[in-house]
Structures are given as C-alpha cells and as structure tokens.
Amino acid sequence: MNQKISRREFATLAGSGVVAIALGSPLLASAEAVSTPDAQMKAVLDELTSFNAPPTEKLSPMNARNNPTVADAVMGVLAKRRKPAVEMVGDVNH
C-alpha cells in the first residue's frame, strides 16, 4: 500500500522520528552501538532482574500492573548506594 501524505503529516511524522526510522537514518543504523548498556544502566537492569518478576506477557493486566518497573529498579540502585531518590529541598518561597 503506497499512500501519499500531506506536507503537514510529513512534518508531524518527521518530528516524531518515524520518518528517520522509515528512511533508515544513519543514527539508527548502528543498533550494536546502543545495544550494550553502560555501567549505570547495567546496574539498573541487574536490579530489575533481581526482582525475579514473572514475564509481563504471561500475566493478567491487573497482575502485570503490579510487576516491578524500571523506576523500582532505579530506586533500588539508589538505596544500595545510599543516595536519596528524591532531592531534598531546603525551602520554597513564593
């Protein structure tokens, strides 16, 4: 199916990155360059794996919503490093 799109639709798609994917952008051509996590991301992925959560696709929607998330893994990594997950604010004046 070969559809023509308007310039406005093209601009919208281009802004969202869809066109870059469709046109094989050189930024996206090297998947290997971004497929290896750096040390910080590896720590988060290891923490997420340590939760031993069942695969989301094998759960009901209600149970899947209760699965640990990447945010939970980040909080776990921060806790292990004894860093606050939320930056403390001394004072707010209006």
Exposure string over 58-92, b if 16+ CB within 10 A, otherwise e: eeeeeeeeeeeeeeebbbbbeeeeeeeeeeeeeee
Q: For 61-87, write each residue's pLDDT tens digit.
A: 999 999 999 999 999 999 998 887 777
pLDDT at 13 over 90: no
Model confidence pTM above 0.75: no
- The mean pLDDT value for 41-53 works out to 93
On the question of pLDDT at 26 being above 70, the answer is no
- 24 vs 52, higher pLDDT: 52
Domain positions in the chain: 1-33, 37-80
- H-helix or E-strand spanning residue 82: none
